[in-house]
Amino acid sequence: MLGFARTLRHAGVPASPDRVEAMLAALGALDVLNPTAVYWAGRLTLCGDPDDLVRYDAAFAAYFAGEAPRAARPTASVPPQLAVSAPLDGGSGESEADAETEELATRASADEVLRHRDVAGLTAAEREHLRRLFTLLVPAAPMRPSRRRRPSALGAVHPARTVRRALRDGGEVTRLLHRRRAPRPRGVVLLIDVSGSMTPYADALLRFAHAAVRARPASTEVFTIGTRLTRVTPQLRLRDPDAALIASGSAIPDWSGGTRLGEVLKAFLDRWGQRGTARGAVVVVCSDGWERGGTELLAEQMTRLRRLAHSVVWVNPHKGRAGYEPLTGGMQAALPSIDHFVSGHSMAAFEELSGVIQRA
Amino acid sequence: MLAYVSEPTVHPIAAAPNPEGEPGFGSPGELAAALEATGYLPDEGLATAAYLALVMHRPLFLEGEAGVGKTALAQALAEITGRPLYRLQCYEGLEASQALYDWDFGRQLLHLRAAEAAHATDDTASLEASLYDRRFLLARPLLQALEDSPSVLLVDEIDRADDEFEAFLLEVLSDFTISIPELGTVHAKTPPLVVLTSNRTREVHDALKRRCLYHWLQHPDFDREVAILRRRLPQVTEQLAREVARATATLRTLDLLKPPGIAESMDWATALHTLGARDLDPDLAARTLGAVLKYREDTDRVQALARGALFGG
């Protein structure tokens, strides 16, 4: 049975030692010679997620059909090269040496220029510099009143505290104590387009997402959209931005592929959004609106999203260019359902975006 | 059952305790048979899950679409074991004072005033002790379930509560103990059978899931659904039950915003029966669609998809 647990761990089911212990206890309570009992004992104790069930079934079939435990290759995809990871290393030492010799004033003004430059047209050294600016970005979360109340100097009378205090004073109410609703961070959902047309910006957008997840890990969710939907929140929770980006890069199977915005948005709403992830949240869609499929589905799903979410923000990097008009079919279809339409092409635009999210 | 309580002061909301004691179940099959006798028809996986939860004293964590019978299972389990059922409905902002216990401050004050009037306030120590007596404690579901052991504790829709509450629940579920500073520790002699349900509106923390048996409940297959409809609604004709089950199964494949669960198909069958239907008449079906579909978009789509094709024999 321990060999089976090892097979499962290779397949990606989190069969931790305490779970294995529970499985052995479950087997003890059931008929060990009955294959279905063994199947259910393992499935009930070792899995913890609907996604695990498919992997469990496959591993169970493979293991008990006599296959030796081996690492299952998740997918044969080559981890995509992120714009950040490799090419920048050469430039970084150089730029650091430069930075030391530079005077502070010129450095500050360079920051200022870089802040407004389009990230698509940056050199490797400039990207490296921008990377450091990104670590300084701390997006503030939008807040909402919660049902939970906290003791406070103002607000309604808190009966329990007041009476408890009165009991201490011999039953005499000497002072009224108060409570009021504590604010809670509102959920933020980032949907980042990683299709071919968005490649120059995907890296910067993922860095922005990383900053947002790091600031509010519990209330921020990040998905990438392209030809399929990928949840990258767990990967982006890594502290180091580069490690987080490389991890999420290898989790995204459709990097620089095509776009099926409508379909993927529907997948998001079916699997996550309608169940609660999008409910009352600020949903930020980062895309240029290039849609391969028909735009009716996108329009329909955007209306659905609009009804679920607290507000919908659309980030289009091309909006930052002079003379931009939202002419792509996808953009036209989505516009009626958007609350805030902003650009996301430069550091300054990202700072503005975090302000928009906070006030949304 | 408790060190400090001589008489139970809480009242169970469901089944009275079985006089001849706890019935034992030797295998998942026996448990399934007992559940079937109450009108709840489990599949093999669910019966095994419930059996293991009962034998291993591990909480059962049920996830699945809305309306597949998660809450009903807890009720059926309470019925077959003869244990009282305590239900904690979770919501955002749920606090310890609503889940565990609260002091009845009003009565405490009254008690103090009465003591004052009787000039019995000289002995402060005994007065204080009498203030924090069990009779001034309001037991909430978690404490009730531990006090009235053995019992069935249903923690419904745990995904709606805040994540702070999850951590707190973890503490109670790991050793089935609640400590009340003024009174002492309450420990359940027999751990309650705990059923947690979630609709997956949010990911529940892994630390909580790890301590539970995890089961994903699916929509029942056609035969089971017919059997459930027949069992729960004996007044509905066999013909109508089969056709409702078939139409509901078809609706589930249509990629709707909210695919109908078993609760919806039961509602639908009841609605049709109330209108005097003996089989699924396309016209009546179209008029009672509100019992199964809860979104305008879904209703529009299904009505456009041909009345005859979908509901005909």
Contact between B201 and A19 using a beta-carbon 8 Å cutoff: no
Residues A175 and A289 in one domain: no
Position A77 pLDDT exceeds 50: no
Q: Where are the alpha helices (DSSP H) in chain A?
A: 2-11, 17-29, 35-46, 50-64, 88-101, 104-116, 124-135, 159-168, 199-215, 233-236, 241-251, 261-268, 295-308, 329-334, 347-359
What is the model's pTM? 0.72
Position A92 pLDDT exceeds 80: no
First to last CA, chain B: 57
Determine the residue of chain B that is closest to A185 in CA distance. B162
Q: State the pairing for strand pair B184-187/B177-180.
A: antiparallel
Position A81 pLDDT exceeds 80: no
Asked if A193 contacts A159 with a C-beta cutoff of 8 angstroms, the reply is: no
Which residue of B58, B63, B113 is in closest CB contact with A171? B113
Residues A161 and A242 in one domain: no
Smallest CA–CA distance, residue B55 to chain A, in Å, is 7
B185-244 residues touching A, CB cutoff 8 A: 199-202, 206, 209-210, 213-216
Output the pLDDT for position B19: 39
Mapping DSSP to helix (H, G, I), strand (E, B) and coil, where does residue B186 land?
strand
Which residues in chain B are contacts of A277 at CB distance < 8 A?
A: 201-202
Which range of residues forms the domain containing residue B229? 222-311
Output the pLDDT for position B35: 92
Domain membership of residue B179 (yes or no) is: yes
Q: A347-359 and A104-116 helices cross at what angle (nearest 10)?
A: 60
ipTM: 0.75
Residues B70 and B210 in one domain: yes
Bridge partner residues of B188 (DSSP):
none
Residues A315 and A209 in one domain: yes
Which residues in chain B are contacts of A163 at CB distance < 8 A?
A: 105-106, 108-109
Determine the residue of chain B that is closest to A181 in CA distance. B93
Contact between A48 and B92 using a beta-carbon 8 Å cutoff: no
What value does the mean pLDDT of chain A take?
80
Which residues in chain A are contacts of B209 at CB distance < 8 A?
A: 48
Output the pLDDT for position B46: 92
CA atoms of B276 and B246, how far apart (whole Å): 19
**Exposed/middle/buried for residue B234 (C-beta within 10 Å: 0-12, 13-18, 19+):** exposed
Output the pLDDT for position A112: 66
Best of A40, A60, A165 to substitute, by most chain B Cβ atoms within 10 angstroms, is A40
Residues A351 and A316 in one domain: yes
Cβ neighbours of residue B33 closer than 8 Å, sequence gap 6 or more? none
Cβ pairs bridging A and B (under 8 Å): 98
Bridge partner residues of B61 (DSSP):
B196, B214
Residues A221 and A171 in one domain: no
pLDDT above 70 covers what percent of chain A? 86
- Comparing CA positions, the residue from B30, B13, B48, B46 lying closest to residue B154 is B13
Position A246 pLDDT exceeds 90: no
Output the pLDDT for position A107: 58
Which residue of B95, B202, B209 is in closest CB contact with A48? B209
Smallest CA–CA distance, residue B20 to chain A, in Å, is 24
Which residues in chain A are contacts of B105 at CB distance < 8 A?
A: 159-160, 163-164, 167
Number of domains forming the structure of chain B: 3
Interface of A with B (CB under 8 A): 14, 16, 18-19, 22, 25-26, 29-31, 36-37, 40-41, 43-45, 47-50, 53, 146-149, 159-160, 163-164, 166-167, 170-171, 218, 274-277, 279, 304
Buried (b) or exposed (e) across A57-81, using 16+ Cβ within 10 A? eebbebbeeeeebeeeeeeeeeebe
Bridge partner residues of B185 (DSSP):
B179
Mapping DSSP to helix (H, G, I), strand (E, B) and coil, where does residue B308 land?
helix
Output the pLDDT for position A165: 85
Which residue of B28, B105, B113 is in closest CB contact with A159? B105
Determine the residue of chain B that is closest to A168 in CA distance. B128
Residues A223 and A292 in one domain: yes
Contact between B93 and A36 using a beta-carbon 8 Å cutoff: no
- Comparing CA positions, the residue from A129, A12, A28, A279 lying closest to residue B92 is A279
Best of A44, A55, A189, A305 to substitute, by most chain B Cβ atoms within 10 angstroms, is A44
Smallest CA–CA distance, residue B256 to chain A, in Å, is 9
Residues A221 and A342 in one domain: yes
Residue with tokens 């069930």: A53
Bridge partner residues of B89 (DSSP):
B156
Which residue of B56, B163, B202 is in closest CB contact with A29? B56
The total number of residues written for chain B in this structure: 313
Determine the residue of chain A that is closest to B104 in CA distance. A160
Residues A169 and A208 in one domain: no
Using 70 as the pLDDT threshold, list the residues of chain B that sit under it: 1-23, 306-313
Cα A81 from chain centre: 20
Number of domains forming the structure of chain A: 3
CA atoms of A182 and A100, how far apart (whole Å): 46
A275-332 residue pLDDT tens: 888 888 999 999 988 887 778 889 989 998 998 899 999 999 888 787 788 778 888 8
CATH of the domain at B173: 3.40.50.300
> Three-state SS across A319-340?
HHCCCCCCCCHHHHHHHHHCCE
Output the pLDDT for position B184: 87
Asked if B213 contacts B196 with a C-beta cutoff of 8 angstroms, the reply is: no
Residues B59 and B75 in one domain: yes
Residues A323 and A341 in one domain: yes
A101-141 residue pLDDT tens: 444 555 556 666 666 767 777 777 777 777 777 777 777 78
Output the pLDDT for position B89: 93
CA atoms of A90 and A245, how far apart (whole Å): 19
Which of A77-86, A204-213, B13-22 is modeled with the greatest confidence?
A204-213
Cβ neighbours of residue A103 closer than 8 Å, sequence gap 6 or more? none
Residues B35 and B122 in one domain: no
Residues B114 and B135 in one domain: yes
Domain membership of residue B37 (yes or no) is: yes
Domain membership of residue B184 (yes or no) is: yes
Could you say which of B217, B240, B260 is where a domain stops?
B217
Residues A221 and A348 in one domain: yes
A23-55 residue pLDDT tens: 888 988 888 888 888 889 889 988 888 878 888
Residues B117 and B70 in one domain: no
Q: A50-64 and A35-46 helices cross at what angle (nearest 10)?
A: 140
Position A90 pLDDT exceeds 90: no
Smallest CA–CA distance, residue B239 to chain A, in Å, is 33
Residues B295 and B147 in one domain: no
Domain membership of residue A76 (yes or no) is: no
Output the pLDDT for position A67: 53
DSSP 8-state class, residue A69: P
Output the pLDDT for position B87: 95
Determine the residue of chain B that is closest to A170 in CA distance. B112
Bridge partner residues of A220 (DSSP):
A188
- Comparing CA positions, the residue from B216, B243, B241, B217 lying closest to residue B229 is B241
Bridge partner residues of A193 (DSSP):
A225
Output the pLDDT for position A108: 57
Residues B197 and B253 in one domain: no
Domain membership of residue B74 (yes or no) is: yes
Cβ neighbours of residue A271 closer than 8 Å, sequence gap 6 or more? A229
Which range of residues forms the domain containing residue A33? 2-64
Output the pLDDT for position A188: 93
CA atoms of A295 and A332, how far apart (whole Å): 9
Could you say which of A64, A89, A115 is where a domain stops?
A64
Which residue of A25, A50, A170 is in closest CB contact with B216? A50
Domain membership of residue B11 (yes or no) is: no
